[in-house]
Structure formats: C-alpha cells, structure tokens
Amino acid sequence: MKIFPAIDIKDKKCVRLIKGDFDMKTEYEISPIEQARKYKDHGFINLHIVDLDGALTGETVNLDIIQDIVGKFDFKVEIGGGIRNLNSIQKYINAGADKVILGSAAIKDKNFLKESCEKFPDKIALGLDAKDGYLSVSGWKENSSQLTLNYIKEVNDYGVSRLIYTDINRDGMKQGPNFDETSKIAEISNFPVVISGGVSSIDDIKKAKNLKNIEGIIVGKAIYDGDIKLDELARELN
C-alpha cells in the first residue's frame, strides 16, 4: 500500500486546514521544498500536493514549486487544487506530475472528466470529497445533492486511474478516517481508492492495509503536529 505524505501550499507556505476552512488555517514555518526534502530523506516516493491558491483562483499558481519538487527529489506527485481545464492538466504533466487530481470541475461536468481521461490516459485521479454521503464542491463551500456512490457508478467506466476519497467531517480532525464509508466506495469502484482525511495514528495505516481495493493513504496534519513520526511512518513502507 502506498503512503502519500501531504503538502498543502498557500502563499508559498505549508499549511493545513480543518475541514477545508481557510479561516481555520495553521501555517508551518517549513517551506514546501524543505518539507518535500524531509519526506525524501525518509524514503517516501509518493507525494500528495494540494495547491490551495489554485483551489481559490482556478490557476496553476504554484506550478514552479511542483516543478522544483519533482525535479529535485523525483517524487511520484499527485497534484490537485482548482484544476478546471485541459490546459492546466497539461501544464502539471509537463512539470512532471504523476497524477493530476480533478475534483469540483469533474463533479459539475462529467464530460470534462471523460475527456481528460481520454486525452491523458493513466494520469487522471478523481478527488471526491463527501459529507454525510453527499459530494461537496468548490472547496467544500457547496454541498451537492449528488450521492457519492451514485456518482461513482456513473463514471466507473471513464478510465480514471485513481480515486481519492475524503470524508470532510474527518479532515484535519485527526479522529481516524471513515473506514466504513471508504470500504463501501472501494467495493463498487472500478479504480483503486486512496484514503484521505482524519489519519491520526500508525494504527490507521495498519488498518488501511487490510482493506480491499485500497491503493494508498494520505497523511497530513498528523505529521505536521508530530502525532505520527516520519521514522515510524517510513517503517510502514516495507
């Protein structure tokens, strides 16, 4: 199972949000490049990056940082945050991203998701953020009336390479992921699932390893706050 340490970028800094709320933001002193270096030094090869500036503007604001991280450390990076057109996807792929995560734009326009998967085979990850079973969009400001499970059934044959599932109620709360809901999603999904939101301890990592159709797990705030030590997390890579 892949472990994706996370870097969320805002104003060129590493930050973490609670339940996606920009008013509940914690800034960390370390730069995204230095944080990536720490991950590399501990032997991680996969990296989850969210461009929060991009999420707000719909532009590839931190493209230079992504390029730097891939160039310096040779990570397999999945990048998300406000990616709304084919041109942005192309820019990230040119910068060396392994996967480009589509979220709100793919939920609002399934044809955009389909076209992206056709144009960039094996490069498109689908980021689904849900609250109480329903999908949320636009940086979690809007709840849609779309059930997560129904949406997955509708796009199951589009050729998505990875599904990143976040339970908003758990994100940044360090209360453990929503394993029950994630298991339901993994059961019906034609694509492998990455667990996101709420990881609080090494036990969460161990539990995830026993679930079916789970490709990996994202760890963010628990690393920054010191609840999970990188040495300890790196041992789970083996």
Based on C-alpha coordinates, what's the Rg of the chain?
16
Q: How far apart are CA 169 and CA 176, in angstroms?
A: 10
Burial of residue 140 (number of CB atoms within 10 Å: 0-12, 13-18, 19+): buried
129 is catalytic: yes
Q: Which two tokens stand for residue 19?
A: 């339940």
| Catalytic residue (one of 8, 51, 98, 167) | 8
Q: Which residues on adjacent β-strands are paired with residue 6?
A: 48
DSSP 179: H
- Secondary structure (DSSP) of 100-153: EEE-HHHHH-HHHHHHHHHHSTTTEEEEEEEETTEEEETTTTEEEEEEHHHHHH
| Catalytic residue (one of 129, 167, 171, 204) | 129
The residues assigned a catalytic role are 8, 129
